[in-house]
Amino acid sequence: MSPERGPLAGRRIVVGVTGSIAAYKAVLLVRRLMERGATVDVALTRSAAAFVTPLTFASLTHRPVVSDVLDLDAEQQIAHIELAEAADAVVVAPATANVLAELAIGMASSSVTAIACASRAPVVVAPAMDAGMWTNPATQRNVATLREFGYLLVEPEVGSLASGLTGIGRLAEPGTIADTVERLFERAGDLEGLRVVVSAGGTREPIDPVRFIGNRSSGKMGTAIAEAARDRGATVTLIAGAMSVNPPPGVSVVNATTAQAMRQAVMREAPGADILVMAAAVADFAPKQASGRKIKRDGAELQVELVPNPDIIAEVAEMPTDIRPFLIGFAAESQDLEANAIGKLRDKGLDLIVGNVVGGPFDAIGSDENKVTVFGSEGALTDWPMLPKRQIAERLWDLIADRYRSARGPDGAQKEKAGRRPRAGSAGSRR
């Protein structure tokens, strides 16, 4: 694609270079990004400047290079804040073990960490270090923290290292890093104009004022799905059950911690929405009557009568087609995943269902990763490996957007006449 028309055309990218021997490859990265049409600003840490001089980058980009956190720009503004605000993406490459640690705890002592910390644009981090440093548990914990914060990691590669040894830790090739940055913009905005409702977390069905029947759902999968939709330009409502994570900024949040409350919230939000993803683990049963007072122990057995909860997503599926959103359900199954998931998709009248196996050696509940298969009525549509939940969310949106557009036409035409609610405006694109 020509640089004038590709996804990086006219984008402002800040490349933050830190002190690794791989800093020379950042020169090539800057070139690759510029060749694809981006305007590139470079920030260097002091130790990076010992490997490659600011003059190299300034000559290449024809722009001033920020090498100190105290630098001012031509207008006497604080350079790292100006760049952080102007950036469409920040790329830290190479990222040393030290810079990963600083980013994970929010330190901003260098121009590079200050920009990454201050920017609301997506941050891509490409680590490079000795194999021992990369596999060190502290580094791995820092990497996991950064993923949780929404940083995009470009994994280091296996190969010969500066030490002379061969192992993992080599900076990914500049072309690979540039591809990752480009992908950020390929997807950006592909859900623009769509109103998406996502439910997440578990429900808690009260037995008395202090006790409930609940489940271990963390809400991490649904939250990742809501966040990814927000970053791709959708207007997102998150219906949040009981969750162990905070709802992401930039989405409207409706709290609903019982199945009945969730039903009410979904019935209010779903009509006229374009897509509903029911990732919440809704309790199938609730105590028939919650006791108004805390139940006392008196030595006798306690019987709690349970009644079935409404199947919320099945109810949405029955809505008239002009207000019924495109529907994605989840199925956690301990056996016969495919048969049970497709059975549920048909019984509940869904468009897609995301299945995963529970009760095996790997416990996805509460984990940052999962292995899922997406099914349509024709069978399995994906063969994805175990992935971080945010990456699952991105892949899910690729698939959902595709299917949604085939079902509804490029503009959701089937629904245009049906008094759709006006869009509340784009939800922004904070990481």
The answer to the question of residue 26 lying near ligand C5P (CB under 6 A) is no
Closer Cβ to ligand C5P, 13 or 266, answer by number: 266
Return the bridge partners of 328, or none.
277, 352
Rounded alpha-carbon distances, angstroms, from residue 329 to 93, 275, 346, 378? 39, 11, 11, 16
Return the bridge partners of 199, or none.
239, 278
The answer to the question of residue 259 lying near ligand C5P (CB under 6 A) is yes
- Both tokens of 394, joined, read 């991105």
* Omega before 249 within 30 of 0, i.e. cis: no
The residue type found at 101 is: A
Q: Which listed residue (49, 79, 312, 317) binds ligand C5P by CB under 6 A?
A: 312
Sign of CA dihedral 157, 18, 121, 39: negative
309 is catalytic: no
Closer Cβ to ligand C5P, 103 or 282, answer by number: 282
- Both tokens of 179, joined, read 């591809």
Closer Cβ to ligand C5P, 139 or 309, answer by number: 309
Name the DSSP letter for residue 415: G
The residue type found at 308 is: P
The answer to the question of residue 331 lying near ligand C5P (CB under 6 A) is yes
The answer to the question of residue 38 lying near ligand C5P (CB under 6 A) is no
| Closest separation in Å from C-beta 65 to ligand C5P | 51
Interface with ligand C5P (CB under 6 A), residue total 14
**Residues in 332-361 at the binding interface with ligand C5P, rule: CB under 6 A:** 344
The answer to the question of residue 284 lying near ligand C5P (CB under 6 A) is yes
| Closest separation in Å from C-beta 312 to ligand C5P | 3
- Both tokens of 403, joined, read 């299917």
- Both tokens of 337, joined, read 């995943």
| Closest separation in Å from C-beta 197 to ligand C5P | 12
The answer to the question of residue 313 lying near ligand C5P (CB under 6 A) is yes
Contact 107, 113 (CB under 8 A): yes
Closer Cβ to ligand C5P, 23 or 278, answer by number: 278
**Active-site annotation holder among 98, 142, 215, 370:** 215
- Both tokens of 121, joined, read 């644009």
Closer Cβ to ligand C5P, 3 or 349, answer by number: 349
Closer Cβ to ligand C5P, 228 or 354, answer by number: 354
Which of 110, 81, 77, 95 has the alpha carbon at shortest distance from 152?
A: 95
Return the bridge partners of 40, or none.
13
| Closest separation in Å from C-beta 387 to ligand C5P | 20
Residue 320 exposed, middle or buried by CB count within 10 Å (0-12, 13-18, 19+):
exposed
Contacting residues toward ligand C5P, per CB under 6 A: 259, 278, 280, 282, 284, 309-313, 329-331, 344
Q: Which residues are catalytic?
A: 215
